[in-house]
Amino acid sequence: MTLRLALGQLNALVGDAAGNVERVLESVGRARDASADLVLFPELVLSGYPPEDLLFHRGFKQDITRALRAVAEAADGIDILLGYPEYLAGSEDGGLFNAAAWCRAGQVVFTHRKHCLPNYGVFDEKRYFTPGTHFDFFEIKGVRCGVLICEDIWQPEPAQRLVELGAELLLVINASPFEQGKQRQREQLLSERARALAVPIVYLNLVGGQDELVFDGQSVVVDAAGEMRLRAPAFTECLAIIEFERNESGELCVRPMDETPQAPLLDVEASTYQALVMGVRDYVRKHRFPGVVLGLSGGIDSALTLAIAVDALGPEQVHAVMMPSRYTSQMSLEDAAQQAAALGVSYDVISIEGIYEASLAALETSFAGRDVDATEENLQSRSRMLILMGLSNKTGRMLLTTGNKSEMAVGYATLYGDMAGGFAPLKDCNKLWVYRLAAYRNGLSPVIPQRVLDRPPSAELRPDQKDEDSLPPYSVLDAILECFIEHDLSVEDIVARGFDRPTVLRVLSMVQRNEYKRRQAPPGVRVSRRAFGRDWRYPITNGYRP
């Protein structure tokens, strides 16, 4: 007996049930050509993940019903297992499940309903789905297969129950978003589960960008001893083939196929950079923008953003604009031009002096008797926004913002100025990570001038300005922010780690005061344990003081 499986690691588009069916059926055809007995697809692949409140729309429900029927009809000579939202017949409001359908000979012959509904971090499944309660396995070619969906494998009970019932192979379909270090956690968990239960596990993950989330693929198969036998590539659609056969003792063994080479486990810099590239590419392409425009200042943040945009979309779809003012250094002008040339993007230099001077003149009477302060700095940033948004509107290209997580945290950014735009690639990368990723990208090919990495960061909105005039050193700032944002540590906890109490209080106060800015910021790629956006829900108006 040989059981051949095909793992369809697909990039689905939320809401596009018809398009997702086309992707599924194309992969079914390739799996059939490869003589697979069963082809698997990710969690909620028909709807895309997460479908959120689209699930409440009756028209969307009808789309899903048609899509599932089309997939079942394609199950001719090959079985298909895939995820979809199941609307229980006859129920107007309650019977909605995150389900997996096993299709055979034109019908859905087996259904597994997700038992463990995550409701933490970026997940909100209890808002939409009812948990499943039934456990059973399904047979193919004499192999008893237990089906699980994503969170089901992270909790011990569902897999244990299936094995107790007689399942000898676990098939897990997933929509597990990327997070730094998450793949190692997945593989360790799967290895431990397989060893404890003495069964092989097939873990199939979604791939692609969806708003703030990026799904990294990296589907894996582990044998009953917990050994890794297959790892699909990261951030890439693929159809991976693997076989199972029984040994002389009747045990189910894994036999990888030569046509499915083992992909490497990426280090944290490579995986983070690729997540940012995929997040930008899919956001732009799924929204059908013809390209992007961004401000290139000669600083590290815009330099890294430009490199990511070119790697995601190609230079022909990227337009960079240097917008100098009276405070822009010659070094910035030279470095921006050098990088634009190195990456081959279209590049303009448009001065903001005329817009800035006109703004000051218009406000002269209203500003009379008041000292120069951050207002004049913000006017420069908003002058640049007028140019960039004008180019975006005229060309249809989306504006990328270039700010990082450190700036978003403490409000070191101008609302309706450098925060304006459609997507923020570095929104979840603090300043130290920006430098790490820039160094990583230059290690692939030197596209960011070394002076950009070496010079002290500056907004260049006043003479001789440096970021550290207004902020603690980034080595201190980023460490405090990580303690507070990603680990919810108190002031006492952070001080106990060796940080100065007044500095801690100052940083946490800035984070709180600037929640209103973050609510108006564009979405960006989530890569850390906790990003501003889906899994950060602090009230704007609140009386709590650290």
Cα distances (angstroms) measured from residue 52 to each of 14, 49, 291, 411, 538: 9, 8, 27, 29, 21
Q: Is 150 a catalytic residue?
A: yes
Using DSSP bridges, classify how beta strands 96-104 and 79-87 pair: parallel, antiparallel or unpaired.
Answer: antiparallel
How far is the C-alpha of 485 from the C-alpha of 546, rounded, in Å? Answer: 13
Q: Is residue 217 classed as helix, strand or coil in its secondary structure?
A: strand
Burial class (CB in 10 A: 0-12, 13-18, 19+), 358: exposed
> Structure tokens of 278?
């995929």
Using DSSP bridges, classify how beta strands 318-322 and 346-349 pair: parallel, antiparallel or unpaired.
Answer: parallel
CA-nearest of 514, 483, 486, 480 to 500 is: 480
First to last CA, the chain: 64
Q: Is 482 a catalytic residue?
A: no
How far is the C-alpha of 136 from the C-alpha of 529, rounded, in Å? Answer: 34
Three-state SS annotation for 316-338: HHEEEEECCCCCCCHHHHHHHHH
Backbone angles phi, psi at 31, to 5 degrees: -65, -40
Q: What does pLDDT average to in each consecutive run of 10 residues of the chain (546 residues)?
A: 94 96 96 95 97 92 94 95 88 76 95 94 91 92 95 95 96 97 96 96 97 96 94 96 88 75 91 98 97 95 97 98 92 93 96 95 93 91 96 97 94 92 96 96 95 83 75 93 93 94 94 93 94 89 82
How far is the C-alpha of 13 from the C-alpha of 249, rounded, in Å? Answer: 44
Backbone angles phi, psi at 458, to 5 degrees: -150, 140
Backbone angles phi, psi at 400, to 5 degrees: -90, 130
Q: Is 43 a catalytic residue?
A: yes
How far is the C-alpha of 272 from the C-alpha of 277, rounded, in Å? Answer: 9
Q: Where do the domains of the chain lie, and which CATH numbers do they carry?
A: 2-259 (3.60.110.10), 271-519 (3.40.50.620)
How far is the C-alpha of 137 from the C-alpha of 140, rounded, in Å? Answer: 10
Q: Which of 103, 116, 145, 150 is catalytic?
A: 150
Cα distances (angstroms) measured from residue 210 to each of 133, 216, 225, 341, 392: 30, 11, 35, 31, 22
Q: Is residue 146 classed as helix, strand or coil in its secondary structure?
A: strand
* Residue 93, pLDDT score: 46
Report residue 379 CA to chain centroid gap. Answer: 33
Using DSSP bridges, classify how beta strands 169-174 and 143-149 pair: parallel, antiparallel or unpaired.
Answer: parallel
* Residue 259, pLDDT score: 61
* Residue 92, pLDDT score: 47
Contact by Cβ (8 Å): 71, 102: no
Q: Which of 86, 114, 377, 407 is catalytic?
A: 114
* Residue 445, pLDDT score: 95
Torsion of CA 100, 103, 108, 109, to 10 degrees: -100
How far is the C-alpha of 311 from the C-alpha of 441, rounded, in Å? Answer: 10
